[in-house]
């Protein structure tokens, strides 16, 4: 493989991983600031109410900031990774919505 292709894949993976972390951090912040219960109790209530998809969507809002930071720094392949992770989260939410019991 060409070194350039490896670098491009590496940059996309970095963007994807950073977006995963941003989504997790966004979910954590949302739960911490908007729930009157402890974090573990909030997670139990989210699971009981089948609200995982909604929390993921709210957590994924943090990807906007990461995406625009990468664009501002002209790190287009990392921004592409963020976009791919955002589509992955959207697909995951779609699955959770239609296949949750």
Name 88's Cβ contacts closer than 8 Å, sequence gap at least 6: 16
The count of domains in the chain is 1
Query: Using CA atoms, how far apart are residues 59 and 22, in angstroms rounded to an integer?
Result: 8
pTM of the model as a whole: 0.88
pLDDT in 10s for each residue of the chain, 101 residues: 566 888 999 999 999 999 999 999 999 999 999 989 999 999 999 999 888 889 999 999 999 999 999 999 999 999 999 999 999 999 999 998 888 65
In this predicted model, what pLDDT tens digit does every residue of 37-64 receive, in sequence order? Answer: 999 999 999 999 888 889 999 999 999 9
> 85: domain range?
3-99
């Amino acid at each position: 493989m060409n070194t350039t292709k490896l670098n491009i894949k590496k940059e996309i993976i970095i963007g994807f991983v950073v977006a995963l972390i941003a989504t997790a951090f966004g979910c954590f912040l949302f739960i911490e600031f908007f729930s009157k219960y402890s974090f573990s109790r909030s997670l139990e209530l989210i699971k009981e109410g089948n609200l995982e998809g909604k929390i993921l969507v709210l957590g994924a809002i943090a990807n906007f900031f990461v995406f625009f930071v990468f664009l501002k720094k002209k790190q287009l392949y990392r921004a592409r990774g963020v976009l791919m992770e955002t589509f992955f989260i959207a697909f995951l939410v779609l699955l959770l919505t239609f296949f949750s019991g």
